[in-house]
A = this chain, B = another copy of it.
Amino acid sequence: MNKQLILKKRPIGIPDHETWELTSTEIPTPDEGEVVIQTDYISLDPAMRGWMNEGKSYIEPVQLGEVMRAGTIGKVIAANKHPKYKIGDTLTGWGGVQQYIKTNGQGHFKVDTQMIPASKYLGVLGMPGMTAYFGILEVGKIKEGDTVLMSGAAGAVGSVAGQIAKIQGCKVVGIAGGPEKCAYVVSELGFDACIDYKNESVYKAIKEHCPQGVDVYFDNVGGDILDAALARLRMNARVVICGAISQYNNKTAIKGPSNYLSLLVNRATMQGMVVFDYADRYREAGLQMGQWMMEGKLKSEETIFEGIENFQATYERLFSGKKKGKLLLKIKE
């Protein structure tokens, strides 16, 4: 059988057991021009919370009754005259939270898992890695000597974006929750410092670690941390708006940045980004990051749980912070 996680009810605030329903259908067979993929891993991303909401955003919301959207990687187990893919190919794409994916291949592409483990294609070489790459280079416009401040520094995007900034010759200060993550960010990832937002004043710590101010702030979290960063911008600073995980479960209006007039005082720019805009350059980014990985300059970690039944408990770790690097769920039993 094919277990699928269906969006049953739009959550208000934090999703709960009424949000999804785990159902079972027959394992699909491919029609002509289609393949069926057996899902190996699914990607868990903070952005999923937005996809559950009704209304216009950068992507269509998941409809009620549909399989919950998720990035996936898995092997083709059946093919029916598909022009590009055959049994045994590993495909990554938007397969959704289900054990078997029936698709004409649109939104999927083939990857090589000989050199690089499949899980990396949902992390450092997947959406989070691409977001980090284009966000820090194209939107953040980092240059050598910049002071870069990175929220979500132990997360899938922040860990990669910060390391890229280090490779480019920036001073990089992370922000993460708890001493263990902060130690990881500094000792393993090589950031210059990491601020523990759970145990110190972020505003004061930015002042201490970035005495000249912040040239580029890469924001994955929003809320009070965004405000603290805005208060410490340097002239002509760039603020990359990549996400706002602290606000995604709000039941009321989200907290706007009270210190936004720092953009005026410091002639700074705050710019939003969505990784899909760079789709025609994913290959370029993947090759570059693959090279950095082989040279030992770019590290990545995945936290992997197992079983589609554990989707919700695993998903909650995105917001509780109980994970490091990329959060994945292994689906293949």
Q: Which residues of A contact B (CB under 8 A)?
A: 56-58, 222, 227, 241-244, 247, 253-274, 277
Contact = CB atoms under 8 A, between A and B. Distances in A.
Contacts of A253: 258
Work out how many copies of this chain go into the complex: 2
Given A257-B260, A267-B277, 12 more contacts: A57-B265, A58-B264, A241-B261, A242-B264, A260-B260, A261-B272, A262-B272, A265-B274, A266-B272, A267-B274, A268-B272, A270-B271
A58 B235 CA distance: 10
A274 B264 contact: yes
23 contacts: A57-B265, A58-B265, A241-B260, A241-B264, A242-B264, A244-B261, A244-B264, A247-B261, A253-B258, A254-B258, A256-B259, A257-B260, A260-B260, A260-B270, A264-B272, A264-B273, A265-B272, A267-B271, A267-B272, A269-B269, A269-B270, A269-B271, A270-B270
A252 to B, nearest CB: 9
Contact of A263 (B267, B271, B277): B271
Contacts of A268: 271-272
Contacts of A270: 260, 263, 269-271
Contacts of A264: 58, 241-244, 272-274
A327 B119 CA distance: 64
A56 B258 CA distance: 16
A241 B263 contact: yes
A51 to B, nearest CB: 12
Nearest to A263: B272
Contacts of A265: 56-58, 272, 274
Nearest to A274: B267
A170 to B, nearest CB: 21
Greatest chain B CB density within 10 A among A260, A262, A273 is at A260
Contacts of A242: 264
Contacts of A241: 260-261, 263-264
